[in-house]
Amino acid sequence: MPEGHTVHRIARQLTQDLVGRRLAVSSPQGRFAAGAARVDGQVLVSADAVGKQLFCTFESGDVLRVHLGLYGAWDFFGSLTPLVPGGFAAGSMGAPRLRRAVRMGEGEREVASGEAFPPEPVGQVRVRLASDATVADLRGPTACEVLDPAGAAAAIARLGPDPASTDDLAAAGDVMVQRLTSRNVAVGQLLMDQTVVAGIGNIYRAELLFRARLDPHTPGRRVPTDVARALWDDWAVLLADGIERGVMITREDLTDAQREQAQTDPSLRHWVYHRQGEPCLVSGTPVVVELMATRKLYWCPTCQV
């Protein structure tokens, strides 16, 4: 499942290449024809991420809300602005010619494509946002709907705080700490509850708990306030790094050279995630995997006590 950093990167790509443009909005698949028609031909005013959800606001005030869920992804074609200097982008001078495409979902990658622009939709494209230079295709989302401003505000209000979507980190952290420490539910489950804190998925959950040396079964009410605050502060750091790099690198012991290598080598990125049965990198104890609220939880029974 795409986690918070990916959705923020999608919002940034949309902001750079489609916000401020009048868009042709369609549903090649046909399942979202009415919603697409509602915003077709309008200027995209803003694209914002809150946790794992994307909110695209059009000039009428209507908002396209997208939750990628487990399998959703956006494909970008045409003239694309690199999110960071030296990053990949597609397009050419003059009339846009499609040379590469970028897929942004659970991971990011360039994919080969043809020369024609705009490209013909391939497969089950729920929504297409298109300017004369750039196309963004949405596939496989869990949620995709057009809301009025009040509906969009209500959807955002249901979410917990997101460090990358607030101007007041301290106040947002207070909300997260209060929500986490007031419930008698395992902290490993609470970190995945998007009403407690928005954007954390399976990878970040496992890694945050390991970095805090916190037993994932600890009830929220038994998590000390300073530990809960440290979880928020660490989440803010990891999220910002993920947004910048486009990958989740959660090991703080890596050298600069190793961090660069981890960009392309997933085996270097994490302390416990997907390392079941392997020795913990700190204690040597085999990493355990179990189900918690239907999702796999990875943790070290020696370090996290």
- Residue 246 or 222, more confident: 222
Q: Are both 168 and 295 inside the same structural domain?
A: yes
Whether the per-residue pLDDT at 114 is higher than 70: the answer is: no
Q: Which of 157, 173, 191 is the last residue of a domain?
A: 157
Q: Are both 261 and 133 inside the same structural domain?
A: no
Which residues, 6 or more positions from 304, have their beta carbon under 8 angstroms from its beta carbon?
209, 210, 213, 214, 215, 216
Q: Are both 207 and 103 inside the same structural domain?
A: no
Report the distance separating Cα 40 and Cα 59, nearest Å. 11
User: What is the tally of structural domains in the chain?
Assistant: 2
- Write down the residue that tokens 């989302």 correspond to: 141
Whether the per-residue pLDDT at 182 is higher than 50: the answer is: yes
What pLDDT score does 94 carry? 25
pLDDT digits (tens, 9 = 90+) for 88-108: 443 322 223 334 467 666 565
Q: Are both 124 and 267 inside the same structural domain?
A: no
When pLDDT is cut at 50, 70 and 90, the band that residue 23 belongs to is very high
Determine the residue type at 290.
E
Q: Which of 139, 157, 175 is the last residue of a domain?
A: 157
Whether the per-residue pLDDT at 158 is higher than 70: the answer is: yes
> What CATH number did the domain enclosing 266 receive?
1.10.8.50
Q: Are both 142 and 271 inside the same structural domain?
A: no
Whether the per-residue pLDDT at 36 is higher than 70: the answer is: yes
Q: Which of 98, 132, 157 is the last residue of a domain?
A: 157
Q: 176: helix, coil or strand? A: helix
- 3 state SS for 242-253: HHHHCCCCCCCC
What pLDDT score does 96 carry? 32
- Residue 149 or 1, more confident: 149
Has residue 305 been placed in a domain?
no
**Contact between residue 160 and residue 175 where contact means Cβ atoms under 8 Å apart:** yes
Q: Are both 233 and 119 inside the same structural domain?
A: no
Q: Are both 79 and 168 inside the same structural domain?
A: no
What pLDDT score does 123 carry? 85
Q: Are both 115 and 235 inside the same structural domain?
A: no
Has residue 304 been placed in a domain?
no
When pLDDT is cut at 50, 70 and 90, the band that residue 184 belongs to is very high
Q: Are both 136 and 178 inside the same structural domain?
A: no
Report the distance separating Cα 149 and Cα 3, nearest Å. 25
Q: What is the percent of the chain with per-residue pLDDT over 70, rounded to a whole number?
A: 90
Q: Which residues are catalytic?
A: 2-3, 52, 295
The token pair that represents 142 in the structure block: 């869990």
Domain that holds residue 21: 4-157
Q: Are both 99 and 179 inside the same structural domain?
A: no
**Contact between residue 43 and residue 59 where contact means Cβ atoms under 8 Å apart:** yes
pLDDT digits (tens, 9 = 90+) for 230-272: 999 999 999 999 999 899 999 999 999 999 999 999 999 999 9
248 half-sphere exposure, CB direction, 13 A CA radius: 27
Whether the per-residue pLDDT at 59 is higher than 80: the answer is: yes
